[in-house]
Amino acid sequence: MCPFQTMPPRQPPGWRNFRMDASMDLISSPQALRDTCRAWSKAGLTIALVPTMGFLHDGHMSLIDEARRRGDKLVVSIFVNPTQFGPNEDLDRYPRDLPRDLALAEAHGADLVFAPEPGAMYAPDHATWVEVPELARGLCGASRPIHFRGVCTVVLKLLNLVRPDVAVFGQKDWQQLAILRRMARDLDLDAQLMGMPIHREPDGLAMSSRNVYLTPVERAKAPAIREGLLLVRAAVAAGERDAETLGRMFGAHLAQALPGARIDYASFVHPDSMEPVARMDAATLFAVAVFVGSVRLIDNILLEV
């Protein structure tokens, strides 16, 4: 049985007529979302979309603020998409706080929040999936083999329902954005998929909903990941071009500054094709995934040559 068939509903389906003020609606029905967005489009209004899994933080707010500037109407989706979680991943314990998310979305100008239940997005006999396998072979796709299939499928569903002029994503998930852009290109989708820079804590740690899982000791040491990325960038600026040498440099730094951490990957890839790069003769993405305790953190840096 698929995981999205086993999760009990937390709210009733359909349009919930929830208005935090005169400007924001909360909708849980895909049909109601489609009808609302079609009416906006027929009225000549532009639409911006920010897809999220909720538990919003300042990184999400930077995406929402940018989307607010780019559309007459702003849709924020809040959906912990079960199809992008593997059997042994953290679907059940993924942090959720819908009332807080709604207040934040309202404060940042959302016109509509779409917060469906899994059963509204996936029929019990759901059998259609969207994949971009060439770009999903490495990095997160190697250790999370069904992840991007679930991401592509749910994002395509959201794009079909909303038909936004622009959808805004964070570049912390660089591989995800590259895959979604290829999907949009190959399927002739209308929406512009826009990437926004990684939003960081004052100490450099990339903002993530999963940061709440870190113990105080782990949280204090986790910025070592960003420090390692900057160390590699400095070495490239000084003339080093060999990816293997730079990778060893990052590993040695992490072993000293974040003992006990486990590197899932530390890879140099082409920023669009995600193909591995052995020697940097052009702009290269250095992307990492590191387990700090039980928490898997991702980060990246674009290395200009």
Residue 210 annotated as part of some ligand binding site: yes
Quick count: other Cβ atoms within 10 Å of Cβ 185? 11
* 270 in a known ligand binding site: no
256 labeled part of a ligand binding site: no
Gap between the Cα atoms of 132 and 183, Å rounded: 7
* Alpha-carbon gap, residue 30 to 166, rounded angstroms: 19
In angstroms, the CA 229 to CA 181 distance is 25
Is 267 known to sit in a ligand binding site?
no
Is 208 assigned a ligand-binding role in the annotation?
Answer: yes
**Contact indicator for 67, 166 with CB cutoff of 8 Å:** yes
Is 199 annotated as contributing to ligand binding?
Answer: no
Tokens of 119: 């059963």
Partners of 56 in beta bridges? none
Q: How far apart are CA 267 and CA 247, in angstroms?
A: 7
Q: Does residue 183 have a known ligand-binding role?
A: no
Could you give the residue numbers annotated as active site? 60
- Is 171 annotated in a binding site? The answer is yes
62 is in an annotated binding site: no
Cβ-contact 265, 139 below 8 angstroms: yes
Angle subtended at Cα 147 by Cα 146 and Cα 153, rounded to the nearest 5 degrees: 90
Q: What angle do CA 191, 194, 197 make, to 5 degrees?
A: 170
Q: What is the CA radius of gyration of the chain?
A: 20
84 is in an annotated binding site: yes
173 is in an annotated binding site: yes
Q: Is 28 annotated as a binding residue?
A: no
Any binding-site annotation on 53? yes
- Is 11 assigned a ligand-binding role in the annotation? no
Phi and psi at residue 289, to the nearest 5°: -135, 125
Q: Which amino acid is at 176?
A: Q
CA distance 37 to 27: 12
Residue positions in the annotated binding site for beta-alanine? 84
Residue positions in the annotated binding site? 53-60, 84, 170-173, 176, 207-210
Residue positions in the annotated binding site for (R)-pantoate? 84, 176
